Amino acid sequence: MARNPAAQTAYGPMVLAAIEHHEPPGQRLVDDDLAASFLPTAMRALVAAMRPAPLRRWFIAAMDRSGPGLWVNLTCRKRFIADRIDEAAEDVDAVVILGAGLDTLAYRLARRSPIPVFEGDQPVNVARKAATVRRVLGGLPLSVRLVALDFERDDVLTTLVEHGYRTAFRTFFVAEGVTQYLTEAGVRRTLEGLRPAATGSRLAFTYVRRDFIDGTNLYGSQKLYRRVCAAVPASPLLRRASLNRRVVNKLWHFGLQPDDVADFLADYGWRLIEQAGPEQYLQRYVEPTGRRLGASDLEWSVYAEKL
């Protein structure tokens, strides 16, 4: 299977969710009993090695040195989205997960509800997900459908309709950890494609702050910025050869600022209900566990309703 830099990022959040499952039930930031099984063998071994609490504390601290507070953000955004879906369960007819990667949300939903769930992602991720689901569950649940999508080129709803989606569905759309990998044109194209969504549909997504993308404020995450936003030589060998003309394309492109989100969504027919950032993550999810963790202001979660 061809390597794709953005597609490779599907693993990281699931490793975090799987490691969190080693915490006692009352201390987990996210509760995902399928996460570990959806990972490749080497990553499952890493997760298993984190069973002792001292090793987990060391691992979380090591990650936070790269991006302070990102452990909390990457786990709590999953909890935020799952909570919003639970709250809206009686008011929606379908769930669409855009940029699903290896996320297990669709399969946890399928265990308790026949509501149709559509997972849309790059073809390479869809192929990987299909193979993973066959390995773990023996096959796709009847309620789940995998849809290959190119967010920069495809009309989202048109592509979904080809796989059984109905535009009359009041739909809960999810785009977790997706928008920063798209260009602004790709994000706007996706939202424009959702314009025909039924009134009362919901949208939960995450975004990275624009001032991080443009390098104005690195939020203590210099290493992360160099990895995902900065143009760098393609390899240490090229750096030594001073062949700086050859660079790796940066992974993250699009960002928003919290004060701009309501107007940005309104342009496409959505009403902002809520944003969640570090303060909300800490108050809702971290403090009740008694764990001493920080959160980052770099990434936020959004919940909106279609007008």
Q: Which of 4-8, 48-52, 55-59 has the lowest mean pLDDT?
A: 4-8
Q: How far apart are CA 96 and CA 99, in angstroms?
A: 10
- What mean pLDDT is reported for the chain? 92
Interval 158-177 mean pLDDT: 96
Q: How far apart are CA 228 and CA 173, in angstroms?
A: 26
Q: How far apart are CA 130 and CA 92, in angstroms?
A: 25
Instruction: Give me the CATH number covering residue 196.
Output: 3.40.50.150
- Would 62 be classed as within a structural domain? yes
Q: How far apart are CA 121 and CA 251, in angstroms?
A: 16
Q: How far apart are CA 105 and CA 81, in angstroms?
A: 10
> Phi first, then psi: what are they for 145, rounded to 5°?
-130, 135
- Would 96 be classed as within a structural domain? yes
- Would 246 be classed as within a structural domain? no
Could you report the per-residue pLDDT of 2-24, keeping only the tens digit for each?
445 555 577 899 999 999 999 99
- Would 93 be classed as within a structural domain? yes
- Would 117 be classed as within a structural domain? yes
Count of domains forming the chain: 1
Domain that holds residue 196: 5-210+217-225+252-306
- Would 105 be classed as within a structural domain? yes
- Would 122 be classed as within a structural domain? yes
Interval 134-159 mean pLDDT: 95
- Would 238 be classed as within a structural domain? no
Sheet arrangement for strand 171-175:
144-148, 117-121, 94-98, 171-175, 202-208, 299-306, 270-276
Interval 104-111 mean pLDDT: 97
